[in-house]
Structure 1
Amino acid sequence: MMTVKEAYKKCKEILAESEIEDEAFEVLCLFEKVTGFDRLGIISHGDEQITDEKLNELLSLVNRRCKHEPLQYLLGSWSFCGFDFCVGKGVLIPRGDTEVVVNLCIDFLKNSASKKVIDLCAGSGAISVVLEKLADAEVTALELSNDAFKFLKKNIKLNNSKVKAVKGDVFTAFCDFEDNSFDLIVSNPPYIKSDDIQTLQTEVQQEPRLALDGGKSGYDFYEAIVKHWSSKLRHGGALAFELGENQSDYVAELMKSQGFENIRTSLDLGGVQRAIIGTML
């Protein structure tokens, strides 16, 4: 038998040996999932025995983490903009960087009399739900992947959201929507170059390729959305994207060529131009 404190120490050591970067934080996350104890709980219950069942469950998760299964998948949920989202194999994990594009969208919608929004490549529904909740927007979420669509529907329900989930492909579904339908189109599209995916962090490579692969140039989705979806915006409506590194200039030119004005970008905490927005006048 092992005490809670001993189990915590053992799990932390296993992760450290596997060179998991923030092993102290990750052990706390896994510990809380299995035992319900946060940092304070581990300290105050440290001398109590941990059951074999809980210890085995904990070690199983730790071993999976050592094989670089994403922490968020192991936990089964992740927080984004203060809301919880179910995540797992087959859906992109919501990231803090995406808050940059969400903030641009909220700022735009504050001054918009109508707030009809479509989120393209919606994935887990993180952007959709947050805009519906924080900007009081009427949001449609479009997603192609069967696996991601299940999470999208689950997260709409989890957050008691009114987002409308629609199954569809960005490259063809524009035909299903009337012109001048939306005040805002937002997308965090796949934007990694196909050849670069094998160079990504091992954890990221376990996320769905469909949500990462932006084609040979990384711009396939930006080009298709700007070309086929811009007409779906009302006069004065906006188009907003999350961006990969060094993509802002190209995407800005794409948008200008389609008639967008007032184009501006926003930086993430690492100083990368992570989001862009422009209005169709």
Structure 2
Amino acid sequence: MTKIWTIGELLQWTQQFFVQKGIDSARLDAEILLAHVLRKERIYLYSHYDEPMNPQELSVYRDMVKQRAGRLSVAHILGRKAFMGMDFCVNRDVLVPRPETELLVETILEQAGRDGAVSVLDIGTGSGAVILSILQYMPQACGSGVDISPQALAVAKKNGAALQLSERVTWIESDIVSGVSPQVFDWIVSNPPYLTQADMEQLEPEVRYDPPQALFGGTDGLDIYRRMAEECWSYLKQDGFFAVEIGAGQANEVIAVFTHTGMYGHVRTVKDYGGIERVILFTRKG
């Protein structure tokens, strides 16, 4: 006879299976995937622990479990990722937004205030999560998101439409600012590729599904910072701000890249909740 699986039994089995596959967030991932299949909140699983699963639900869930066991991220499986209290569509054409990148957005909101009618240029926008979050929390702001990948821009455009922000954002296919018409912005922001060659060789299995060009920053991880420091200066208003996310241990080097041009002043460096220097804020000097 075919076994009848209850929600509780299925969660237990999946958790053990994921642990065997080396997945650290085994229980959480099992719950998120099962809740998605059932179209319920996770709390529902615990109040319906003995509820049996039907064959169709089991089939869909089984396929998701296989994908996760192959170390495809939950975000990629579901096609969405929560960021700054919103859901963003993601796929393999864009970097999945990381929780630490929320600090980049929060730093800008703190510095600019939420009432400012500022203009923002987001370099390497990917899914659009950063600039769209800024615009969502700053209702008078507007801006442009640029990316070298047309596939990434298609995802960003979809997210902008879903959040009803299309009228306040322009999407531009561009290698840094090469495709951006001459203009100046109050803010330039970027979460650029900053992984080193050594980092790329030690990637977690899930990260290997992200586009390499959104991860690899050259041998020392600083290639894009060097280009942005030189190429973006004329796009930033005098006394405007440039905010960048950085990798662990890169703060001093990135500060040197920008300040040695003589065009930027270092305002402050912000640590994430793990105590890692994660965001650097500069201002244009002249």
Question: TM-score band (shorter)?
Answer: over 0.9
Distance 2:268 2:14 in 1: 46
Q: What are the superposed Cα offsets for residues 11-45 of structure 1, whole Å, 9 maximum, x if unpaired?
A: 22221221211211111100111012334322333
| Structure 2 partner of 1:33 | 36
Q: 1:217 aligns with which of 216, 220, 228?
A: 220
Distance 1:144 1:262 in 2: 28
| Structure 2 partner of 1:62 | 65
| Structure 1 partner of 2:79 | 76
Cα separation, partners in 2 of 1:210 and 1:116, compared to 1, 3 Å: same
Letter in 2 for 1:280: R
Letter in 2 for 1:49: P
Q: 1:169 aligns with which of 167, 171, 175?
A: 175
Q: Report whether the alignment pairs 1:276 with 2:273.
A: no
Distance 2:240 2:41 in 1: 45
Distance 2:31 2:279 in 1: 32
Tell me, yes or no, if the aligned pair for 1:121 and 1:187 is still in contact at 8 Å: yes
Q: 2:185 aligns with which of 179, 182, 192?
A: 182
| Structure 2 partner of 1:20 | 23
| Structure 1 partner of 2:120 | 117
TM-superposed CA distance for 1:90, in Å, is 1.7
Q: Secondary structure, in 3 states, of the residue corresponding to 1:101?
A: helix
TM-superposed CA distance for 1:195, in Å, is 4.1
Tell me, yes or no, if the aligned pair for 1:117 and 1:183 is still in contact at 8 Å: yes
Show structure 1 runs of 4+ deviating over 4 A: 111-114
The Cα RMSD (Å) is: 1.7
Per mean C-alpha deviation after superposition, the further-off stretch among 106-115 and 30-39 is: 106-115
Q: Secondary structure, in 3 states, of the residue corresponding to 1:50?
A: coil
Distance 2:164 2:242 in 1: 26
Distance 1:111 1:203 in 2: 35
Q: Secondary structure, in 3 states, of the residue corresponding to 1:266?
A: strand
Q: Secondary structure, in 3 states, of the residue corresponding to 2:93?
A: coil
TM-superposed CA distance for 1:55, in Å, is 0.6
TM-superposed CA distance for 1:113, in Å, is 5.6
Distance 1:141 1:157 in 2: 14
TM-superposed CA distance for 1:91, in Å, is 1.0
Distance 1:18 1:32 in 2: 21
Q: 1:150 aligns with which of 136, 139, 154?
A: 154
| Structure 2 partner of 1:96 | 99
Cα separation, partners in 2 of 1:279 and 1:9, compared to 1, 3 Å: same
Structure possessing the higher relative contact order (Cα contacts under 8 Å, 6 or more residues apart): 1
Letter in 1 for 2:26: E
Q: Report whether the alignment pairs 1:8 with 2:14.
A: no
Tell me, which stretches of 5 or more residues in structure 2 are unaligned? none
Letter in 2 for 1:169: D
TM-score by length of 2: 0.92
1:260-275 counterparts in 2 under 5 A? 260-275=264-279
Distance 1:177 1:106 in 2: 26
Q: Report whether the alignment pairs 1:256 with 2:255.
A: no
Q: What are the superposed Cα offsets for residues 220-243 of structure 1, whole Å, 9 maximum, x if unpaired?
A: 110001101111111110111000
Letter in 2 for 1:8: L
Across the two proteins, how many residue pairs are aligned to each other? 278
Tell me, yes or no, if the aligned pair for 2:239 and 2:283 is still in contact at 8 Å: yes
Identity score, percent: 28
Per mean C-alpha deviation after superposition, the further-off stretch among 106-115 and 254-263 is: 106-115
Q: 1:133 aligns with which of 133, 136, 158?
A: 136
TM-score by length of 1: 0.93
Letter in 1 for 2:274: G
Distance 1:153 1:71 in 2: 22
Distance 1:39 1:230 in 2: 47
